[in-house]
Amino acid sequence: MSDSITTHAEVPSARRVVVKVGSSSVSGANAAQIPILVDALAAAHARGTEVILVSSGAIATGMPYLRLDGRPTDLATQQAAAAVGQNVLIFRYQESLDRHRIVAGQVLLTAGDLENAAHRTNAQRAMERLLALRILPIVNENDTVATHEIRFGDNDRLAALVAELVGADLLLLLSDVDALYTRPPHEPGAERIEVVTPDDPLESIEFGGIGFTGVGTGGARTKVSAARFAAAAGTPVLLTSTEHVADALAGVELGTWFAAETARTPTRTR
């Protein structure tokens, strides 16, 4: 397998892939997409790819159990919803993964964990060991203890930081839109951007509400920022919709490809 991929066609040969899925794709009525997502991850896992899933959705999943009609705005209720929702979310993933005889490992992180050298090393060591044991790590922000001051703010950024942490060969950012467009895709004249090079200023983009449905915190701007960060660290990024995850991991040319700024061989810590 290759340590550096540059095109869609090379995605199936990626040794290590980080996949990020947003709240709107795995909560509420869209919780039915979890088996579809899991089947795609399991197919990559079966061919030997090391897969790390960064999944939002704890707060959104917990909301119905707290009888909340909308995403809570106060920190304490967010923490309570996350505590309930994370448990249910992991159960749903594991229930689906059981069909493929894959075991999930839960990894909860705060921004402080990746800024603290000792915590960062421990997180890296744990994920490396999980991958070596063929466990599928499922990463989320530790919303139960995170505060407004130290939160990642959205899991796009968390996914980019995890990709850097583990030296991923690809970061796959999934949302409810199939690619990056020059303007919100529902507007007339919106054009899909196929490739973003490191020196592309993206001046033609009018940022809109990609991936924002009221239950998440991400948007087009955060996805572009996360993709730029990962690409600058040497990890190419593919942005597409959750419904296209199987095709994306199979190497079909779709979505928006952010080319890596530098080629590098990922560092493995065993």
Q: Which residues carry a binding-site annotation for ATP?
A: 20, 175-176
- Classify 195 as helix, strand or coil: strand
What is the distance between the alpha carbons of residues 101 and 157, in angstroms, rounded to a whole number? 30
Extract the annotated binding site for substrate.
Answer: 56, 143, 155
Contact in structure between 22 and 174 (CB atoms under 8 Å)? yes
Extract the annotated binding site.
Answer: 20, 56, 143, 155, 175-176
Contact in structure between 165 and 158 (CB atoms under 8 Å)? no
Of 158, 76, 165, which is closest to residue 109 (Cα–Cα)? 158
The dihedral region occupied by 167, where left means phi > 0, alpha psi between -120 and 50, and beta the remainder, is left
CB atoms within 10 A of CB 187: 11
Of 248, 178, 214, 153, which is closest to residue 27 (Cα–Cα)? 214
Contact in structure between 179 and 256 (CB atoms under 8 Å)? yes
Q: Position of tokens 């909308």?
A: 70
What is the distance between the alpha carbons of residues 29 and 167, in angstroms, rounded to a whole number? 34
Of 56, 22, 91, which is closest to residue 239 (Cα–Cα)? 22
